[in-house]
A = this chain, B = another copy of it.
Amino acid sequence: MVDNKVKEGENILIYASKGKNWLVKATHGAKVHTHLGYIELSEVIGKEYGEVFETNLGAKMAVLRPYLIDYVMKSSRTTQIVYPKDVGLIILETGLSPGATVIEAGTGSGALTTALANFVRPDGHVFTYEMRPEFIEVAEKNLKRSSLRDFVTIKNKDASMGFDEKDVDIAVIDVGDPWRLASPAYNALKGGGAIAAILPTVNQAEKLAIELHKLGFINVHTVELLLRNIEVREGMSRPSTRMIAHTAYLMFARKTILKS
């Protein structure tokens, strides 16, 4: 069995508390400076994952293996990221599974791309389209950090002119004018393939739904997910006072084909 120890070069999560944790590369000689003191990464290398240690000021921290969710939430952001609650449902509703071929319009900072890539491993692939070179640069960086770069092809192209791929399993749309992507997605999808769209406004949802129905997509349905944090404490449990009330509507549908 492989041991569970921190190796030089691995990404690690130094965890002090919910809002105070850092995703860094375990590098000999490097230090992480925090408001609670600094950490010599040389001393973290060789520790067991989960182990609790102290900063030079005696503050307790633990070293954790970062999860996909950490990469997603700590992406360098040039655009609004897709939240884990939404990523999770997109995975389920599109039938995303190991081996799938996925196209994505709107790479943005690559947060959703990273999640898609994670779950098509080891033999699937994500082709993602982005028109703005400065976004691609950020997405590249985020994908490399999560070691999922090999599962993704990034194209600096306007997907509304058509995707290069054919017979793909899943199309994911995360652009401002999603209705312009409906027909290109239809053409790229295989029969029965799934489309998912991330839609901040109701109006985008209306326009996309009209196009999807026209093209013969079925099971067109739209949801929104509200995530509420609950403060669970003995004898004084209650929902948190504030929450993110809206990220985006999610629309899902599946392609049908008519044989003459």
Give the B-binding residues of A (Cβ under 8 A). Answer: 1, 4, 15, 18, 47-52, 62-65, 67-69, 72, 84-85, 87-95, 97-98, 115, 118-119, 121-122, 167, 190-194, 200-203, 205-206, 209-210, 216, 218-247, 249, 251, 254-259
Contacts and interface: CB of A to CB of B under 8 A. Distances in A.
Contact of A229 (B119, B190, B222): B222
Nearest to A166: B1
Given A15-B219, A258-B52, A167 B4 contact: yes
A232 B202 contact: yes
Nearest to A93: B69
B224 A228 contact: yes
Contacts of A49: 190-192
A229 to B, nearest CB: 6
Contacts of A240: 245-246
A78 B242 CA distance: 20
A52 B256 contact: yes
Contacts of A119: 97, 119
6 contacts: A62-B192, A91-B91, A98-B98, A209-B232, A222-B231, A228-B245
Nearest to A118: B97
Given A84-B93, A88-B92, A224-B239, 13 more contacts: A4-B191, A48-B257, A48-B259, A51-B256, A51-B258, A62-B218, A68-B97, A84-B89, A88-B89, A88-B91, A98-B98, A240-B245, A240-B246
Contacts of A93: 67, 69, 84
Contacts of A244: 241-242
Contacts of A85: 85, 88-89, 225
Contact of A84 (B51, B92, B98, B193): B92
A254 B69 CA distance: 13
Given A4-B190, A89-B88, A228-B223, A238 B202 contact: yes
Contacts of A72: 92
